[in-house]
Structure 1
Amino acid sequence: MDPQKVTRARARARLNAAVRAFFSEHGYDEVETPCLVPAPGMEPHIACFEAPFVPEGGGAPVPLWLHSSPEYAMKRLLAAGFERIFQLARVFRNGEVSATHNPEFTMLEFYRAHADHEDIMRDLERLVEAAAGAVAGGTAVRRGGVAVDLAAPFERLAVAEAFQRRAGLDLDACGEDGERLRAAAHDRGLPVGPEGEGFDDLFFRIFLERVEPGLGAPRPVYLVDWPARMASLAKLTADGRHARRFELYVAGLELANGFCELNDAAEQRRRLEEERALRARLGRPAYPIDERFVEAVGRMPDAGGVAVGLDRLLMLLAGAERIEEVLLFPACEFL
């Protein structure tokens, strides 16, 4: 085996140990939840692996999927009384293979009751700082030839401000209207894509081409205040215009996605049904709604949570440019 793979496997072990030590110090419980679930996440652009249970003695198969995130189950634990929880979970997403995607990967998720997304951001930046010390020997790292300092605290940047700075576009003036966004993008010579493309697709087209590259250098940045429509599991700001959501970027690499968690069961059902209908319109499987999750949302305390791509964090700390460099058996070997 490539000696560098062995070195990075050992770095992963140090990273996992640092994660567990950090959460133990801060009063979190480690939990495990099932990989096989009767209702996977409903995000419109994520495809899940179907893995039906076939009774040994005969009978109709029971539809199950490999989860794309342990989020639903972990929120049920919050509703059951757990207050600080984390998990190093194996998760699965069909069709995703790239420099930063593998169909099977490791997700760190953690949640705090009686907290919000600001509390989670503070915990996360301290965790990243501690992990950097354990794996890289300090907070100075490089990504794509760019030097980055991972010392906390990290910067905060509103999504609208990022669009203004990097694309010259007044996102708030577009009011989540696809045609207004198209017209504004066209006026500034930005990529507009095919006619009839909705707000979300056009937003991400501009985001991926003009906003994301290099974002979070020379210091990591939390991208905050997302359009309200772009966080079906998050609370909204008081004016209803923005989601209380953040993403963490380091030198153009997305590391984490977190929320001030929605705990209104009726609103959660409405949003899931909306996403389910969108999946159907896009010709994608319309997964069942997880009724136990929806019921639990109504019993959840106020909380914050985040999902962290652990393989990507290891890439950053170990100086790897592609995800297969930090996996002992990457999917690109057989796909």
Structure 2
Amino acid sequence: MERTNAQPAASPWWTPHVHADRRPFLLARNRIQAAFRRFFEERDFIEVDTATLQVSPGNEAHLHAFATEAVGMGGAATPLYLHTSPEFACKKLLAAGETRIACFAHVYRNRERGPLHHPEFTMLEWYRSGETYEALMRDCAELLGLAAEKAGTRTLTYRGRTVDPFEEPERLSVAEAFRRYASIDLLASIDRSGATDRERLAASLEEAGLRVAADDTWADLFSRVIVEKVEPHLGLERATILDEYPVAEAALARPASGDQRVAERFELYACGVELANAFGELTDPAEQRRRFQAEMAEKMRVYGESYPLDEDFLAALTLMPQASGIALGFDRLVMLATGASRIDQVIWAPVAETAP
């Protein structure tokens, strides 16, 4: 008889004994989601439900979409995509006159699978018309504590790291994080217009002992410092709000009033995990178009593909008021609140694994 070293396949999620192990996480998920809905309702938010199918899935260079098509009665096909975020639709609703909206949306991202990534997951987005993004920081602080409370815990945990969700988050600029954790002067590589200097940043990385490849762009170097030097220090003991990203790394955010080199963008971290991405929203359609075109040119350079622009979205920006908005990975927050080790433990019906 032929011998094999193959391991037996893991039982699927719908196997009763596997479901029994997952069920406490899932019930906690429901409690957290219900509490979050009450949180927004008490603050006069309207919950909205946006379409998944869009003419553009989003225009960020390193996000990958699922493509499909709509076939008309006459047989003609129109390309469509599953959205990577409900952001475009939500901003159109702000243009239509809504002022405070929240959305639990199933979103789809291709080429993503792992302990913290799933091809279909739940994004919680909310928007405040006429309010600054500091209001979103306060929302985040309250929601972290609420998630822990509904999960019956006093700490958020992931892979041995813990955070006190009831303590005020640390607020740290990206430039200060580069100085503190990598001894790099990030802003020295950005001029007053927001343009970046690849060679200057490369020299700083080499001085810090970080790898620099000949074909690395400024954005590649920036990401390397974030991943290797900065992120391991974020969201330990208390949450971190990493604030004031360079304009070149904030395609949908408006420039900061005090320094045009950086933008009104922050990310929320807990236990070293990125939970949310927030903006003081850009409402200049010409500038937004320019940034989207630059992102799609980079996507074509790196991956050999690009996505169309949503012309309705760009038109809606002419009517959209000043606003702040945020996208929070709801499943990830549930993971941290429940102590789950993998995202599929907190999703009721995970997508089946596919071959590599």
Query: TM-score, structure 2 length as denominator?
Result: 0.90
Matched residues, percent identical? 45
Distance 1:124 1:195 in 2: 40
Number of the residue aligned with 1:126: 142
Match of 1:289 in 2: 309
Residues 116 and 259 of structure 1 are in contact (CA less than 8 Å); yes or no, is this contact kept in structure 2? no
> Residue 227 of structure 1 is aligned with which of 220, 238, 246?
246
Shift in Å, 1:197: 0.8
1:211-245 Cα offsets, whole Å, 9 max, x none, are 11141111001000101111111110123110100
Unmatched segments (≥5 aa) in structure 1: none
Asked if residue 250 in structure 1 is aligned to residue 267 in structure 2, the reply is: no
Q: What is the alpha-carbon distance in structure 1 between the residues aligned to residue 333 and residue 161 of structure 2?
A: 16
Shift of 1:152: 4.9
**4+ residue runs over 4 A deviation:** none
Does structure 1 retain, via aligned residues, the 8 Å contact 2:236–2:270? yes
SS at match of 2:237: coil
Gaps of 5+ in 2: 1-15, 191-195
Superposed CA deviations along residues 271-312 of structure 1, whole A, max 9, x for unmatched, are: 112222222222442211111111111211110000000010
Verify: 1:151 aligned to 2:155, yes or no. no
Q: Which residue of 1 aligns with 2:39?
A: 22
Take 1:81 and 1:317, find their aligned partners in 2: how far apart are those partners?
35
- 1:190 Cα deviation from its structure 2 partner: 1.4
- Give the superposed CA RMSD: 1.5
Q: How does 1:262-277 map to 2 (within 5 A)?
A: 262-277=282-297
Aligned twin of 2:203: 183
Amino acid at match of 1:326: V
Q: Work out whether residues 94 and 321 of structure 2, in 8 Å CA contact, stay in contact via their aligned partners in 1.
A: yes
Match of 1:35 in 2: 52
Other-structure match for 1:170: 185
Report how far residue 88 of structure 1 moved: 0.5
Max Rg structure: 2
1:186 is paired with a residue whose SS is helix
Matched, 1:302 2:292: no
Tell me the alpha carbon deviations over residues 4-28 of structure 1, each in whole angstroms, 9 at most, x when there is no partner.
2111111111111011010011110
Matches of residues 103-122 of structure 1 in structure 2 within 5 Å?
A: 103-122=119-138
> In the superposition, relative to structure 1, how do residues 152 and 77 fare at CA in structure 2: closer, same or farther (>3 Å)?
farther
Residue among 255, 258, 265 paired with 1:236: 255
Equivalences, count: 332
Q: TM-score, normalised by structure 1?
A: 0.95
Q: CA deviation at 1:50?
A: 0.3
SS at match of 2:306: coil
Q: 1:214, 1:251 within 8 Å by CA — same for their partners in 2?
A: no
Match of 2:113 among 69, 87, 97: 97
Correspondence for 1:80: 96
